[in-house]
């Protein structure tokens, strides 16, 4: 059975002290995860060690980076490499969040390099995809997302793709309070799985976790996660509130 994942994406929010408090509150709550459930905390780089130390004691809770460089090492001032993350024992890394694509010019090609370098160093990339409102209005979301997957993931082998998590995040739903309907989410997730199936085979596609992101809240998580092809969520705003994110973890299948 594929993993069900509740992933917090703090983005560029919270001071170190606020982050420490938030993690402490969530981790001290009595939410035990079963074999198939995972809680992730994608925190700012300077907090990774703290997050790793805090989640250490609890089963299936992990820290994640929000980004990494597509370069191995060298003269790239301000960048963070996959190898550095691995040396801190960080197991997961978000790749290609729409904010990275939009504000930092990350293309499908650059992201294919980031996915590859994460896998080289044994990090699990959480690869984000999703369309803007303009594309959805033209009903072109399927071909758009398929191209993102093709150009960033299809260089992988079936064995490698099994170590990738996918997050579908329609840009029009991120931070807007406008969540995709369960029908819209399920439809796109099933489509993504069908694209993966064509490339990597049915058995492999059936094992890949596909998270939904975009205004996941404590009051809609259960309904979204109940969709057969939705394997949890990538959560921004609601992950900054301990009680909300705890509720979202509890909503995992």
Q: Whole-number minimum distance, CB 83 to ligand PGA, in Å?
A: 25
- Closest distance to ligand PGA from the beta carbon of 236 (Å): 2
206 near ligand PGA, judged by CB under 6 A: no
Q: How many residues of this chain interact with ligand PGA, rule: CB under 6 A?
A: 13
Q: Which is nearer to ligand PGA, 205 or 221 (CB)?
A: 221
Between residues 110 and 216, which has the closer beta carbon with respect to ligand PGA?
Answer: 216
Q: Could you tell me how far CA 79 lies from the centroid of its own chain?
A: 20
Closest approach of ligand PGA to the CB of residue 99, in Å: 7
Residue nearest to ligand PGA (CB): 236
Given 113, 130, 213, 232, the residue binding ligand PGA (CB under 6 A): 213
Which residues, in sequence order, are CB contacts of 135 under 8 Å at separation 6+?
A: 141, 144
Is 189 one of the catalytic residues?
no
Residue with tokens 């996918």: 166
Asked whether position 125 contacts ligand PGA by CB under 6 A, the answer is: no
- The sign of the dihedral angle between the CA atoms of 2, 157, 159, 45 is negative
* 235 near ligand PGA, judged by CB under 6 A: yes
Contact between 88 and 55 (Cβ < 8 Å): no
Beta bridge partners of 4: 37
Cα separation of 22 and 65, whole Å?
17
Contact between 216 and ligand PGA (CB under 6 A)? yes
At a CB cut-off of 8 Å and minimum separation 6, what does 62 contact?
Answer: 38, 39, 40, 41, 55, 91, 92
Alpha helices in the chain (DSSP H): 16-28, 48-55, 82-87, 98-104, 108-120, 133-137, 141-153, 158-161, 182-200, 202-205, 221-225, 242-250
- Which lies closer to ligand PGA via its Cβ, residue 82 or residue 235? 235
Instruction: Based on the shown chain and the rule CB under 6 A, indicate whether residue 135 belongs to the binding site for ligand PGA.
Output: no
Our finding on whether 130 is near ligand PGA (CB under 6 A) is: no
Calpha distance 193→16 (Å, rounded) = 38
Nearer to ligand PGA, 205 or 230 (CB): 230
- 203 flagged as catalytic: no
Which is catalytic among the residues 99, 106, 131, 169? 169
Q: With contact defined as beta carbons under 8 Å apart, do 197 and 238 qualify?
A: no
170 binds ligand PGA (CB under 6 A): no
Question: Nearest approach, Cβ of 19 to ligand PGA (angstroms)?
Answer: 17
Of the pair 125, 213, the CB lying nearest ligand PGA is at: 213
Evaluate whether 210 touches 193 at the Cβ level (below 8 Å): yes
- 9 touches ligand PGA (CB under 6 A): yes
> Which chain residues interact with ligand PGA by CB under 6 A?
9, 169, 174-175, 213-216, 234-238
């Amino acid at each position: 059975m594929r993993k069900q994942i509740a992933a917090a994406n703090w983005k560029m929010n919270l001071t170190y002290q606020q982050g420490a408090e938030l993690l402490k509150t969530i981790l001290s709550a009595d939410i035990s995860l079963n074999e198939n459930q995972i809680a992730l905390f994608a925190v700012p780089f300077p907090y990774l060690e703290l997050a790793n130390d805090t989640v250490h004691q609890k089963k299936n809770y992990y820290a994640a980076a929000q980004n990494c460089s597509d370069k191995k090492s060298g003269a790239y001032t301000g960048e963070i490499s996959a190898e550095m993350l691995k040396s801190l024992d960080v197991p997961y890394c978000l790749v290609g969040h729409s904010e990275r694509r939009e504000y930092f010019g990350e293309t499908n090609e650059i992201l294919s390099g980031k996915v590859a370098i994460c896998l080289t160093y044994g990090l699990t990339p959480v690869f984000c995809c999703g369309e803007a409102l303009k594309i959805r209005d033209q009903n072109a979301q399927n071909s758009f997302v398929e191209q993102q997957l093709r150009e960033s993931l299809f260089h992988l082998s079936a064995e490698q793709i099994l170590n990738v998590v996918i997050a579908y995040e329609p840009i029009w739903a991120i931070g807007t309070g406008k969540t995709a309907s369960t029908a819209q989410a399920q439809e796109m997730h099933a489509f993504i799985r069908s694209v993966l199936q064509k490339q990597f085979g049915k058995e492999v596609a059936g094992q890949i976790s596909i998270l939904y992101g975009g205004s996941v809240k404590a009051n809609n998580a259960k309904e979204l996660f109940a969709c057969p092809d939705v394997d949890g969520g990538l959560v921004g705003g609601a992950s900054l509130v301990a009680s909300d994110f705890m509720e979202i973890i509890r909503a995992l299948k």
